[in-house]
Amino acid sequence: MRVLMMTWEYPPRIVGGISRHVEELSWALAARGVDVRVITCAFADAPAEERVRDVAVYRVHPHLPTDNFVHWVQQLNAAMYDRAAQLLEASLATTDDTPTIVHAHDWVAHFSSARLKHAYRLPMVSTVHATEHGRNRGIHTEGQRYIDSVERELTTEAWRVIVCSEFMKHECEQALATPWDKMDVIPNGVHAEKLDSEFPEAEAARFRATFASPDEHLIMFTGRLVNEKGAQLLLEATRRLRDEMLPVKLVIVGGGYRSHLVDLADALGISRHVFFTGFIPDDSLLRLYRVADAACYPSLYEPFGIVALEAMAAGTPVVVSDAGGLKEIVHHDRTGTVVWSGDLDSLIWGLRRTVVERDHTRWMAGNAWHEVRSVYDWGLIAERTIEVYRRVWDEYGRSPWSGDAPPAAV
């Protein structure tokens, strides 16, 4: 089976969770014999073509310069379509009859994916990672309305729609009118083994000292520094905990715009108790998980929460809000602490537990460590994804759609 994986994010271009999801899913699919070809956006010095773990990656530049994001998306999709069409034409020229599926990741990849579907009469699968409605708690502007309309087209054009949680399944039904029986819930995963590398105690202590002193309780957050991720609440909670004389030190990991959070930390008088790292490489992030006393994700909106899985895989105690898919990952009082989304007092209570109930917190972290490896392994997730592909190909083969000769590329 061949899969054309269409995505605007792919490492080293990392904007949100899509990048890591597509990379690790593509690796797991390739390990099971799927011919995966990722078509994505060019980035910095990343090669235009490369093969990583048997996954072929093709990076393209938007055809024309643009002055706004919507136009940029259109130009990127035109380039993605052209590169994918070249690959398909090369396969057709050799009378290759390998089952081929187009897999679109989120609305930014919709236009090229749908065009490939119609040009070559191929079945299309889509993964919805989040919705514009959910990110903004409704549709309020023309720009949001446009993205919402494209998301609706994406789920309409797709043969099957993959979502990462029951929460997202409900959201797609309510916000995008996606039929309930058209969706498959397949969670995100994590390569837990990458967190199992040797990390001697003395080396770990030196690394931890980069962020906090030995007597400080190190709480970490990683993610996009936008309102929906709740870092602003975490700063306020840190202030309150410091007022209680609890020696917490907050480390916020994430690139991009952060002035609003730096200013808030200063206004709260806790600047010296907050460390903004900016973007850090994966090896440093994985080490940070392992030396942190707790990882906290107080999201206001969260379709899933891969960062929580990473922390759990590292054996780091987690405190998460009950927003979206997080409460499906973390089981309160068994694998972590779940607090009320948007409730500062609840968040403070959850973080205080990690300081004063350390034995119980570590017990929960041990449970989480085992659960991640038994439920959220990418191999298991790839098998479930392949089942969706096989179902789609079987239904496609029995449909009039497959009986038509592929038209000329458009």
pTM: 0.85
Task: Give SS3 for 289.
Answer: helix
Amino acid 406 reads P
Q: Provide long-range contacts, Cβ within 8 A and 24+ apart, for 383-386.
A: 383/32, 384/184, 384/186, 385/25, 385/29, 385/162, 385/186, 386/1, 386/29, 386/32, 386/34
Report, as an integer, the average pLDDT of 312-320: 94
Q: Quick one: 139 exposed, middle or buried, by C-beta within 10 A (0-12, 13-18, 19+)?
A: middle
Task: Supply the pLDDT for residue 405.
Answer: 45
pLDDT exceeds cutoff 50 at 407: no
Pick the range with the lowest mean pLDDT from 38-47, 63-72, 144-153, 297-306.
297-306
Amino acid 181 reads D
Give CA 368 to chain center in angstroms. Answer: 19
Percent of the chain residues topping a pLDDT of 70: 97
pLDDT exceeds cutoff 70 at 15: yes
Task: Tell me the C-alpha to C-alpha distance, in Å, between residue 370 and each of 219, 296, 335, 366, 373.
Answer: 22, 19, 9, 7, 5
The single residue listed with the structure tokens 């070249």 is 86
pLDDT band at 107 (very low <50, low <70, confident <90, very high): very high
Q: Compute the mean pLDDT over every residue in the chain, rounded to the nearest whole number.
A: 92
Percent of the chain residues topping a pLDDT of 90: 75
* Strand ranges inside 304-397, DSSP E: 318-321, 337-339
CATH no. for 2-189+377-403: 3.40.50.2000
Report, as an integer, the average pLDDT of 377-387: 94
CB 357 within 8 A of CB 90: no
Report, as an integer, the average pLDDT of 347-361: 95
pLDDT exceeds cutoff 60 at 166: yes
Report, as an integer, the average pLDDT of 6-28: 90
Task: Supply the pLDDT for residue 303.
Answer: 82
Task: Supply the pLDDT for residue 95.
Answer: 60
Helix axes 306-313, 358-375, angle to 10 degrees: 110
pLDDT exceeds cutoff 90 at 280: no
pLDDT exceeds cutoff 60 at 114: yes
The single residue listed with the structure tokens 């891969």 is 306
Pick the range with the lowest mean pLDDT from 12-26, 170-184, 349-363.
12-26
Instruction: Report whether the peptide linkage leading into residue 12 is cis, meaning its omega lies within 30 degrees of zero.
Output: yes
Give CA 357 to chain center in angstroms. Answer: 31
Task: Supply the pLDDT for residue 255.
Answer: 77
Best CATH choice for the domain 192-375 from the list 3.40.190.10, 3.30.465.10, 3.40.630.30, 3.40.50.2000 = 3.40.50.2000
DSSP class of residue 97? -
pLDDT band at 410 (very low <50, low <70, confident <90, very high): very low
| Residue ranges of the chain assigned to CATH 3.40.50.2000 | 2-189+377-403, 192-375
Task: Tell me the C-alpha to C-alpha distance, in Å, between residue 314 and each of 190, 294, 310, 406.
Answer: 11, 11, 6, 49
